[in-house]
Structure 1
Amino acid sequence: MTATATEPSRGLAARDDRVATRPLAARLLSRPEVGSLIAAIVIFLLFMAAAEPFRNVANVGTILYGASTIGIMAVPVALLMIGGEFDLSAGVAVTTSGLSASLLAWNFGLNVWVGILLALAVSVAIGAFNGWLLLKTGLPSFLVTLGTFFILQGVNLGVTRLLTGNVASADISDMDGFASAQNIFGSEVTLGPVTLKITVLYWVLLTVIAAYVLLRTRVGNWVFAVGGDAAAARAVGVPVRATKIGLFMAVGFCAWLSGMHLLFQFNTVQSGEGVGKEFIFIIAAVIGGCLLTGGYGSVVGASLGALIFGMTQLGINYAGWNPDWFRTFLGVMLLLATLVNMYVKRRADLR
C-alpha cells in the first residue's frame, strides 16, 4: 500500500509546473527585448536587400553614430520608464547642457573644463528638481516634465539671445581646455574602413552598466518595484523617493554627456535644438520592451530600439525612398511594439 501511494505523488511532482524546466524558446520569447531584436534583424535584412550603400562596410560607423546619439538617452529614459515615470524634458535638457557649458565658459572667460563641470551640475540639478517636484506635488511625471520642457525651451532661447544676440552659442574652439575636452567628447577612431565616433563607446558602456545594475543589483530590484507598485514597494522598505529622484538624475547625467558631445562636435549649440527628441527616446524605449505602465522593460531592448532608428533613418535615404514616410514608420513601430510588449509580458507572467 505504501508503494502504491508513493507512485502517484512522484507523478504529480514530475508534472508540477513550479519545478518544471521551461523550453529555451519559451524563455527567450518571454524576454522584454525579444520584439526589438526581431525587428532589428528584419530591418537590417530589408535594407541590406533594398539599399546598396547600406551594404557598404564604411557606412557602418555612420549608422552606429546615429543610433548612439539616440541610445545614450534611450537607456536612462528606459530605466525611468521601468520605474514608472516619464521625462518629456529630456530632449531640451541635452541642449541646455551644451548651452550651459558654452555660455558659462565664454561669458566668464573660464577654462572650458570649468564650464563642463558647471553644466554637469546644472543637468543633474534639473533631473533632481523633476524628481523632487514629482514627489512633492504628487502630479503625474507627464505634467511635471512637460512644464520643465517649456521652461528649458524658453530659457535656452531667451538666455542665448540675451547673451550673444543670436540663437546659437559662441564658437569656443579657441578657448583653453577645448582641445582636451574635444578628445573626450568629440573624438573618433578608425578601424579599417569604419570610423566610429566616441558616442558609440559611451552608448555601449551605458547599456552594459545599466543592464548590470538593473538585473544584478538591489538598486535594479528597487527600480522594478517602484515601477510596479510604489506603495507596496514602500511598505517593504524600498526607498521609493531616492530611487525615483535617482532615475531622474540619471537622465540628467546622460543629457549632460549627450550635450557635451553636441557642443564639442560642432563647437557651438543651436538654442532651438532638442525639441521633439524626447519622443524619439521614449519610442526607442517602448520598441525595446518598456511598458507605459512601468515595472517592466529592458535597457538592452532600448538600445536595440535606438539601433533600429539609426538603421531606418539612413536606410531610407540609402534606398532612395521618400524620407517623409519616416514619421509614419515611427508611429507604426510604436503601435506594433506596444502590442508585442503586452503579449511578451503576458507570457512572462505565466512563468
Structure 2
Amino acid sequence: MSQTLEAPAPAPSEPSNRVRLSFAQRLLGRPEVGALVAAIIIFIFFMVSAPSFRSAESFFTVLYQSSVIGIVAVGVGLLMIGGEFDLSAGVMVYTAGLVTSMFCWYYGVNLWIGAVLSLIFCLALGFLNGYLVMKTGIPSFLITLGTFFVLQGANLGVTKLVTGTVSSSDISNIDGFSSLQAVFSSSFKIGSVTVWGSVLWWVLFVALAAWTLQRARVGNWIFAVGGNPDSARAVGVPVVRTKIGLFMIVSFLAWFVGMHQLFRFNTLQAGGGVGNEFLYIIAAVVGGTLLTGGFGNAIGVAIGAFIFGMTSLGIIYAGWDPNWFKAFLGVMLLLAVLVNLYVKRMATARKVG
C-alpha cells in the first residue's frame, strides 16, 4: 500500500523541467538576446575602465551617436529581414542633404522646398533600387553597389560644379532654416544634460518598426519574403511591392538622417557617408538579424546600434587608440554571426518541438 502511494512522487518534477526548458528555449530563440547580453557586458566594462563614461552627459552622448546610426539601421534591418541589402544607404544620407543644400542655395528658394524635393529624390532612388532588383533578378548587393558608386561620384562632381569646392555652402541664412532645424536637429536640456531630438526620433522609428513586424500584416509579409519568396508568392503575399517598399523605407530614413546632419552642421562634405552602410549592416547583424533573411527584429537592431555607440565613444573615454575600434567591429561581427546561427537553431528546434 505504501509503495503504491510513493511511486508517483517523482512525476511532478518532469513537467517542471519541461517548463524550464521551454522557457529557456523561448528566451534563447529571441533574436535580440545575444545583443542584449553583449550590450550589458560592454556597458559594465566601460563603466569600470573609463571613469568619464559614468556621467549622464556621456551616456546621452552615446545615445546620440547610436541614434545617428540607428535610425537608418532600422530600415536596413527591415530590408535584411526581407532578404535584401542596400549598400547605397550611407552615401544616400549625404546625397539627401546635398540636394537640399545646393538646390536652395543656388536658386535662393525656401529650404522647405529643397527638403521636399530631396525626399522625392531619395524615395525615387529607393524605388529604383527595389524595382531593378525585382525585375532583373540581379542580387541587391550588386544593384545597390552600383547605386553607391553613382551617388558617391555625383555627390563630389555636382558639388564641386555648383560650389567650386567639395563641401556645400552655409545655409543658415536661407528662409526655412530655423523651422527645419527645430524638426530635424533640435535639442533640449535636462539639468546639465543635452538631449538631441534624433534620440527621440530613433525611439519612435524603432517602436513603429517593432509594432509593424509583430502586429501588422505587413510584418508577416516581410518575414515571408525574406524566408521564402516563392512560398510567400504562392500564398498571396505581394512580394514585389513589399520588397520595393522596404527599399523606399531605407531611402526615407537616409533622407531623414541627411536632414539632421545638414541642419545641425549647416554644411556637408560631399565625400561623407562612405563606409556607413557597413555600420548599418553590422548593427542589424549584431542585433540578431540573419544575413540570409527571414529572422530578426527592430529591438535587436536598436541594441546593435547602441553597442556601436558605446564602443566608438567608450574607447575614446578610456583613452585608448581609436584605431582599435575597427578591429573590435570585425570581431563583434564574426561573433554575432555565430550567435545568430545558434539562436536560429534554437528557434527552429522550439517550433519543431
Q: TM-score, normalised by structure 1?
A: 0.94
**1:21 CA displacement:** 8.6
Residue 272 in structure 1 maps to residue 275 in structure 2: no
Q: Is the 8 A contact 1:289 1:341 kept in 2?
A: yes
Structure 1 contact 123–256 (Cα < 8 Å) conserved: yes
Contact residue 287 and residue 300 of structure 2 kept, 8 A: yes
Identify the residue that residue 183 of structure 1 maps to in structure 2.
182
The 5 Å alignment of 1:254-273 reads 254-273=253-272
Give the structure 2 partner of residue 8 of structure 1.
none
Report the 3-state secondary structure (helix = DSSP H, G, I; strand = E; otherwise coil) of the residue aligned with 2:189: strand
The C-alpha deviation readout for 1:238-286, integer Å capped at 9, x for no partner, is 0000000000000000001000001001001110000000000000100
How far is 1:191 from its partner? Answer: 1.2
Match of 1:59 in 2: 58
- Find the counterpart in structure 1 of residue 218 from structure 2: 219
| Corresponding residue of 1:117 | 116
- The residue type paired with residue 212 of structure 1 is W
Q: Superposed, which structure 2 residues align to 1:216-295 within 5 Å?
A: 216-295=215-294
Shift of 1:350: 1.0
Q: Which amino acid aligns with 1:146?
A: L
Which stretch shifts more, 192-201 or 77-86? Answer: 192-201
In structure 2, the residue matched to 1:48 is 47
Q: Residue 310 of structure 1 aligns with which residue?
A: 309
**Contact 2:83–2:294 under 8 Å retained in 1:** yes
Q: State how many pairs are aligned.
A: 337
Give the drift of 1:186: 1.1
Amino acid at match of 1:230: P
Per-residue CA shift, 1:303-348, capped at 9, x if unaligned?
1000001011110011111111101000000000000000000000
After superposition, the Cα gap between the structure-2 partners of 1:239 and 1:170, relative to the gap in structure 1 and judged at 3 Å, is same
CA contact (8 A) 1:60 1:194 kept: no
Structure 1 residue 197 corresponds to structure 2 residue 191: no
Name 1:335's counterpart in structure 2.
334
Q: What TM-score, normalized by structure 2, do the two folds share?
A: 0.93
- Identity among equivalent pairs (%): 60
Correspondences of 1:137-152 after superposition (within 5 Å): 137-152=136-151
Aligned partner of residue 188 in structure 2, secondary structure: strand
Q: Which residue of 1 aligns with 2:23?
A: 24
Aligned residues of 1:160 and 1:169 also touching (Cα < 8 A): yes
1:126: which partner in 2? Answer: 125
1:141 and 1:300 map into 2 onto residues whose CA distance is 24
Alpha-carbon separation, structure 2, partners of 1:93 and 1:339: 30
Residue aligning to 2:8:
none
| Residue equivalent to 1:296 | 295
Query: For the aligned residues, what is the CA RMSD?
Result: 1.6
The 5 Å alignment of 1:70-109 reads 70-109=69-108
Residue pair 1:78, 1:285 contacting (<8 A) in 2 also? yes
Q: Which amino acid aligns with 1:82?
A: I
Q: Distance in 2 between matches of 1:178 and 1:116?
A: 11
Counterpart residue identity of residue 110, structure 1 = V
Distance 1:104 1:122 in 2: 12
Q: Which moved more, 1:192-201 or 1:113-122?
A: 192-201
Letter in 2 for 1:283: I
Matched-pair contact (CA < 8 Å) for 2:72–2:257: yes
Structure 1: 5+ residue stretches without partners: 1-10
Distance 1:290 1:337 in 2: 9
Q: Is the 8 A contact 1:316 1:322 kept in 2?
A: yes
- 2: CA distance, partners of 1:307 / 1:63: 8
Q: Which amino acid aligns with 1:262?
A: Q
CA positional deviation for 1:143: 0.3
Shift >2 Å, 4+ stretches:
19-26
Q: What amino acid sits opposite 1:169 in the alignment?
A: S
Determine helix, strand or coil for the equivalent of 1:350.
helix
